[in-house]
């Protein structure tokens, strides 16, 4: 090496040579650009290796010929890879979310992948987002339209697969808590046409049940996809009775869950939310029964009190006093009656005596006693001479008797 030439190089370039580590730092700094942070990259998986430690190494490459073709190395650390819902395979089209970082030890840059979805799925995610905003605008998820579950449902409609654990779980819970009628409306719960079938299965229950459970066991985003479909959401909204959803695991929220009147974590939980526990009902019944007994006992006790009070009021002393009062009253009254009566009699006697005197003064016998006579002809008193003629037989009444006489002559003294 020409030791003495070195300063000349510096002179030529005007720059001090960087150490490799310094260069790496600069590159790292450049790669910090927001353009390379949390980005979505679509590509085909190549050179996929699943490291023993759990990390995944692969490349994303772009199909196409000529200068459109490109490749980027990728790494997905174990902590992120554990959340993968599928196993990436060679040639799979995926959409990765991640950040570009330089890896100084290898002198390379790579995409550190946080999440990965199958490319087709990515489109489905976008579709769900689009449906969500549309249905939201239509008020399908509004809280105002959430209905209360019936207190004592008679028939429960279950929209689910005929086979599978879901219906078994619901049956078990219902049979234990509150046996009633379960109406199963069977449907496919995944697949291309599932959304139409599910919507039909919900609609078919209208008018037949008091409440509907729409349920499905756990599954991947793709498995649960039909429950995001607007057909299903609208069928739930249009359902005349409350709908309770139990779709997938608690962490998976489908649009059907958002539209349902209530969301349950599992099908069993849905059944528990819907049917009351008959043990609780029986306990409540017992409570009502003892309340009723207590009420009747209270009523009887009240009746006893009433009787005691009445007996008190009927005590003999009281009664005797009442009788004495009455007897006194009667004596009083009879006194008054007697007094009134004797007064009246006295007055009447007086009147009678007066009348007697008056009558006496008018007694014709008194006149006869003084020496007068009364002449009668044919029973009538003769007041005038005109009433008799010579030869008439008339009766002369004296004080002490009478005589029958013949009229010898009639002298009219005055012509009255």
Partner 1 sequence: MAAVRLSWSGLIMKETYETKVEQLKQIIEKIEDGTTGLDESMKLYEQGAVLVKQCELMLTEAELKITTLSRDA
Phi, psi angle pair for 99, to nearest 5°:
-130, 140
Nearer to partner 1, 201 or 247 (CB): 201
Q: Which of 110, 58, 67 is nearest to 88 (CA)?
A: 58
Nearer to partner 1, 19 or 299 (CB): 299
Site for partner 1, rule CB under 8 A:
150-155, 162, 171, 174-175, 178-187, 197, 201, 204-205, 208, 210, 278, 281-282, 284-285, 288-289, 291-293, 295-296, 298-300, 302-303
Query: Strand 93-103 vs strand 108-118: parallel, antiparallel, or unpaired?
Result: antiparallel
Q: Closest approach of Cβ 148 to partner 1, in Å? A: 15
Q: Closest approach of Cβ 50 to partner 1, in Å? A: 43
Q: What is the DSSP string of 92-107?
A: -EEEEEEEEEEEGGGT
Helix (H), strand (E) at residue 272: helix 267-274
Nearer to partner 1, 300 or 369 (CB): 300
How is residue 320 annotated by DSSP?
H
Nearer to partner 1, 94 or 158 (CB): 158
Q: How far apart are CA 170 and CA 271, in angstroms?
A: 6
Nearer to partner 1, 29 or 179 (CB): 179
Q: Closest approach of Cβ 238 to partner 1, in Å? A: 16
Helix (H), strand (E) at residue 167: helix 165-177
Cβ atoms 109, 103 nearer than 8 A? yes
| Angle in degrees, CA 14, 19, 20, rounded to 5 | 125
Distances, alpha carbon 13 to alpha carbons 9, 16, 103, in Å: 6, 8, 28
Q: Closest approach of Cβ 240 to partner 1, in Å? A: 16
- Other Cβ atoms less than 10 A from the Cβ of 172: the count is 14
Q: Closest approach of Cβ 191 to partner 1, in Å? A: 14
Q: Closest approach of Cβ 299 to partner 1, in Å? A: 4
Q: Closest approach of Cβ 330 to partner 1, in Å? A: 38
Q: Closest approach of Cβ 244 to partner 1, in Å? A: 17
Q: Which value, to the nearest 10 degrees, does the dihedral of the CA atoms of residues 367, 372, 377, 383 take?
A: -80
Q: Closest approach of Cβ 218 to partner 1, in Å? A: 24
Nearer to partner 1, 3 or 304 (CB): 304
Reduced to 3 states (helix: H, G, I; strand: E, B; else coil), residue 21 is: helix
Q: Closest approach of Cβ 147 to partner 1, in Å? A: 16
| Angle in degrees, CA 333, 334, 340, rounded to 5 | 90
Distances, alpha carbon 29 to alpha carbons 22, 36, 73, 374, in Å: 11, 11, 19, 178
Reduced to 3 states (helix: H, G, I; strand: E, B; else coil), residue 174 is: helix
Q: Closest approach of Cβ 153 to partner 1, in Å? A: 7
Cβ atoms 60, 90 nearer than 8 A? no
Q: What is the DSSP string of 116-151?
A: EEEHHHHHHHHHHHHHHHHHHHTTTT-GGG--PPPS
Sheet of 380-381, strand order: 380-381, 374-377, 393-397, 402-406
């Amino acid at each position: 090496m020409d030791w003495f030439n070195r300063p000349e190089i510096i002179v030529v370039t005007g720059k001090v040579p960087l150490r490799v580590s310094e260069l790496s730092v600069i590159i790292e700094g450049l790669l910090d650009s927001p353009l390379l942070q949390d980005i979505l990259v679509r590509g085909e998986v190549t050179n996929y290796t699943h490291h023993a430690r759990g990390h995944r190494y692969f490349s994303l490459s772009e199909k196409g010929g000529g200068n459109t073709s490109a490749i980027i190395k990728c790494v997905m650390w174990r902590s992120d890879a554990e959340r993968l819902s599928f196993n990436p395979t060679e040639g799979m089209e995926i959409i990765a979310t991640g950040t570009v970082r330089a890896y100084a030890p290898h002198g390379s840059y790579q995409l550190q992948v946080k999440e990965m979805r199958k490319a087709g799925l990515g489109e489905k995610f976008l579709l769900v987002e689009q449906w969500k905003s549309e249905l939201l605008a239509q008020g399908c998820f509004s809280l105002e339209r959430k209905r209360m579950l019936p207190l004592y449902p008679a028939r429960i409609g279950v929209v689910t697969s005929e086979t599978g654990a879901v219906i078994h779980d619901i049956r078990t819970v219902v049979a234990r808590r509150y046996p009633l009628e379960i109406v199963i409306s069977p449907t496919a719960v995944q697949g291309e046409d599932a959304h139409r079938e599910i919507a039909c299965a919900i609609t078919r229950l209208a008018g037949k049940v008091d409440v509907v459970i729409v349920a499905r066991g756990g599954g991947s985003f793709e498995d649960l996809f039909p429950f995001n479909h607007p057909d299903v959401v609208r069928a739930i909204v249009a359902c005349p009775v409350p709908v309770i959803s139990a779709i997938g695991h608690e962490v998976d929220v489908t649009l059907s869950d958002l539209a349902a009147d209530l969301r349950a974590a599992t099908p069993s939980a849905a059944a528990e939310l819907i049917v009351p526990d008959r043990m609780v009902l029986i306990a409540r019944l017992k409570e009502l029964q003892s309340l009723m007994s207590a009420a009747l006992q209270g009523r009887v006790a009240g009746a006893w009190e009433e009787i005691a009070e009445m007996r008190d009021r009927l005590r003999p002393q009281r009664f005797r006093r009442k009788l004495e009062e009455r007897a006194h009253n009667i004596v009083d009254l009879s006194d008054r009656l007697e007094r009134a009566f004797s007064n009246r009699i006295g007055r009447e006697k007086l009147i009678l005596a007066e009348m007697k005197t008056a009558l006496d003064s008018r007694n014709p016998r008194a006149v006869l006693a003084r020496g007068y006579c009364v002449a009668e002809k044919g029973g009538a008193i003769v007041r005038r001479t005109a009433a008799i003629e010579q030869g008439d037989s008339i009766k002369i009444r004296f004080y002490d008797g009478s005589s029958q006489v013949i009229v010898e002559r009639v002298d009219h003294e005055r012509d009255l």
